[in-house]
Amino acid sequence: MLMVPHIGFVHGQENVAFLRARLEAMAQHHFFQPMQYTTDRPTIAAWASLVMDGRDNEQVAATKMESGTEVDFGELALG
Q: How confident is the model at residue 69 (pLDDT cuts 50, 70, 90)?
A: confident
Please state, rounded to an integer, the average pLDDT across all residues of the chain. Answer: 90
| pLDDT mean over 36-53 | 95
What are the phi and psi torsion angles at 69 (to 5°)?
-135, 160
Q: What is the pTM of this model?
A: 0.81
54: left (phi over 0), alpha (psi -120 to 50) or beta: left
Q: Is the pLDDT of residue 1 over 70?
A: no
pLDDT of residue 4: 79
Rounded CA gap, 17 and 28, in Å? 18
Q: Where are the domains of the chain?
A: 2-78
Q: Between vectors from CA 21 to CA 19 and to CA 22, what angle results, nearest 5°?
A: 60
Q: For residue 34, give the 3-state DSSP assignment.
A: coil
